[in-house]
């Protein structure tokens, strides 16, 4: 078994690939981070939004943020579709949280479901992770469906959490 954070994984599915971002992905990442519709369901403090220059984000991604989070690009037919993330690592209990975000033109195609499936398979079969969790805004029913399709169970409904907005965010907590 690999220790999480010992490498940047490269995962291939039937239709998609999850891999490290490169400078060539800056334009796609810029389109993603500028999408109000995508980020309306996400915390305000995500690493890819830490800096205005997406090229700089990619340069810093695998040194500044790598010990806390693994962010991979999601690609279909070589085209950037979005991001997949493993974060909130708790070594003592072998736990990690996962998340994903896609450009709008890739919504509704099963890409998020396949992305999450690849993450789950990698974490359970190639690392020492035993618990995988996720959080969604209560109103994000599409993401809740992706989690259910991948065997996650809802364990807490409508918990108040600080996602960086003016008021606490109502979130659902999931586990697998």
Q: State pLDDT tens for residues 53-84.
A: 999 999 999 988 887 899 999 999 999 999 99
Which has more pLDDT, 68 or 164? Answer: 164
Encode pLDDT of 80-105 as tens digits: 999 999 999 999 999 999 999 999 99
Q: What's the confidence (pLDDT) of residue 140? A: 96
- CB of 33 within 8 A of CB of 49? yes
- CB of 137 within 8 A of CB of 167? no
Domain boundaries, the chain: 11-132
The residue written with tokens 């974060």 in the block is 87
Find all residues with CB under 8 Å of 161, minimum gap 6, and list them: 135, 168, 169, 170, 171
User: Alpha-carbon distance 93 to 124, whole Å?
Assistant: 14
Q: Domain 11-132 has what CATH class?
A: alpha beta
Does the structure show a pLDDT above 80 at 43? yes
pTM comes to 0.96
User: Alpha-carbon distance 149 to 27, whole Å?
Assistant: 31
Under the banding of pLDDT at 50, 70 and 90, the label for residue 2 is confident
Average pLDDT over residues 19-47: 95
User: Alpha-carbon distance 2 to 128, whole Å?
Assistant: 7
């Amino acid at each position: 078994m690999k220790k999480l954070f010992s490498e940047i994984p490269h995962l291939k599915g039937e239709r998609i690939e999850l891999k490290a971002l490169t400078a060539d992905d800056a334009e796609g990442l810029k389109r993603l981070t500028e999408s109000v519709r995508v980020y309306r369901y996400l915390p305000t403090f995500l690493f890819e939004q830490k800096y205005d220059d997406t090229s700089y984000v990619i340069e810093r991604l695998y040194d500044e943020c790598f010990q806390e989070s693994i962010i991979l690009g999601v690609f279909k037919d070589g085209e950037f579709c979005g991001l997949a993330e493993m974060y909130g690592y708790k070594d003592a209990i072998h736990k990690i949280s996962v998340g994903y975000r896609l450009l709008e033109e890739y919504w509704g195609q099963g890409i998020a479901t396949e992305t999450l499936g690849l993450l789950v398979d990698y974490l359970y079969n190639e690392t020492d992770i035993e618990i995988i969790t996720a959080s969604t805004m209560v109103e994000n029913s599409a993401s809740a469906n992706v989690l259910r399709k991948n065997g996650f169970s809802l364990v807490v409904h409508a918990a108040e959490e600080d996602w960086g907005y003016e008021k606490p965010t109502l979130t659902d907590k999931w586990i697998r």
